[in-house]
Amino acid sequence: MRYQQLIFLFLFFMIKSSALSQNDVNYEFSLNEYADFLRKALSNPLIVFVTQRQLMTYHDSTKIVISIRHDIDADMDNALRMARLEHNFGVHATYYVLSTAGYYCGEHKDFSHQQSVLSKIKQLQALGHEVGWHNNVLTLQVVYGIDPLAYMHRELAWLRSNGIKIDGTAAHGSRWCSKYGYLNYYMWKDCGRRLYNKNYPNFDYVVKSPGDTVWLAKAWLKDFGFKYEAYCLDYNKYYSDCCKYYDPLKKIDLDKLKPGDRITILMHPCHWHWDRAMRLVKLFPNPISLTRGLFHCEFNFKVTSRIQLFITDLNGRLLFCKIYSPAENIAVPFNFEQRGIYYVYVETVVNGKMLKTGNCLLVY
């Protein structure tokens, strides 16, 4: 009996650890939380949101300045979801496009662009956000033997010739940087030396193997039409979700910020998703989004009791309320005419216990 119990516990924790590796909150942050953060910040008249481009020149010691930066490492579609969310709040952020990511270059072995990415980048810009260059060209030089300067000139020319305004760059932290001990902003004569990190000691060259030394390319920001490198901007507080373990919004106490504070928040869109209804019951599709019109929802658990459904706006104003029977089709006769963010709440009984849960509804 003791042996069977040990086997059971072993299998339980193996399954639990496997589930956590995919769904643990430390690996997947909440867009619902982000919406709450934006709403609370915007309620403070002292807080001003600016893009990274605007952060260069915006100086007001009577304001709390927040600049949100998104490095699009892997998921352009989720970047667009965040961009729409911010747009609905009237907040503009900066999205750095990574040219070595699959969404940008596809299967191209020379990492050249695929035409299909352009429409999505244009959508980011059309929503009022700044588009920047997520710089990974030293990795192309060190690992793949590609001329980094020629490559960057070519890709930037293509983006700009198609109406994408790019003034800034932000270095990408490739896994190859750790292996070979360099950082992508070491290429900049303007600020590379100032940003030197002893944990990445290879500022001028990388020795890949005996007899194989790569001298890192160097250039001025202005050579590529850049006005700034994001890590050289003027801010006194910096919060990041790097390594997927740290939720930056949980570290920011908006009530303790003071006039004169200049804050940069780095959020990778691939880590941020709409909540999964307490992560126990997947109540609605993830994310909840629809074009303007009627809303229909389904449940993935057996409903044995009546369901009370509420819809409110961001200020908590009740817009819709109805009680449904267990066998009734949950079609909500509420016509969403306005783009925006709504909250959908449900109260019902599941397995004899009252369940109160909800999610954001993004209408675009």
CA distance 142 to 177: 9
Neighbour count for residue 188 (Cβ, 10 Å): 24
CA distance 179 to 143: 10
Q: Which residues pair with 357 in a beta bridge?
A: 346
Shared-domain flag, residues 121 and 254: yes
Cα–chain-centroid distance for residue 138? 24
CB 338 within 8 A of CB 361: no
Tokens standing for 248? 């930056």
The verdict on residue 12 lying in a domain is no
Exposure on the CB side of residue 130, measured as CA atoms within 13 A: 25
Shared-domain flag, residues 225 and 340: no
118-to-75, 104, 316 alpha-carbon distances in Å: 14, 9, 38
At residue 167, the 3 state secondary structure works out as coil
Q: Which domain holds residue 298?
A: 277-363
DSSP alpha helix (H) spans, the chain: 2-23, 31-42, 52-55, 76-89, 102-105, 117-126, 137-144, 148-161, 175-180, 248-251
Shared-domain flag, residues 149 and 186: yes
**Tens place of pLDDT per residue across the chain (364 aa):** 454 444 444 434 443 333 333 333 344 688 878 988 998 999 999 999 999 999 999 999 999 999 999 999 998 999 998 999 899 889 999 999 999 999 999 988 899 999 999 999 999 999 999 999 999 999 999 999 999 999 999 999 999 999 999 999 999 999 899 999 999 999 999 999 999 999 999 999 999 999 999 999 999 999 999 999 999 999 999 999 886 557 889 899 999 999 999 999 999 998 888 654 333 233 343 444 444 444 555 544 455 667 777 777 666 667 777 777 766 555 555 555 566 666 676 677 666 666 666 666 666 5
* CATH code, domain carrying 80: 3.20.20
Shared-domain flag, residues 346 and 299: yes
- Nearest of 135, 134, 142, 137 to residue 202 by alpha carbon: 142
CA distance 92 to 38: 11
Shared-domain flag, residues 214 and 316: no
Shared-domain flag, residues 266 and 298: no
Task: Please spell the DSSP secondary structure of 248-287, one letter per residue.
Answer: HHHH--GGG--TT-EEEEE--GGGEE---GGGTS--S-SS
pTM: 0.72
* CATH code, domain carrying 333: 2.60.40.3080
CB 24 within 8 A of CB 18: no
Shared-domain flag, residues 209 and 298: no
CB 274 within 8 A of CB 282: no
Shared-domain flag, residues 266 and 282: no
Q: Is the peptide bond before 287 cis (omega within 30 degrees of 0)?
A: yes
Question: What is the residue whose two structure tokens read 């961001």?
Answer: 314
CA distance 111 to 105: 5
Q: In 3-state terms, the chain is what percent helix, strand and coil (to 5)?
A: 35, 25, 40
Domain boundary among 206, 241, 273: 273
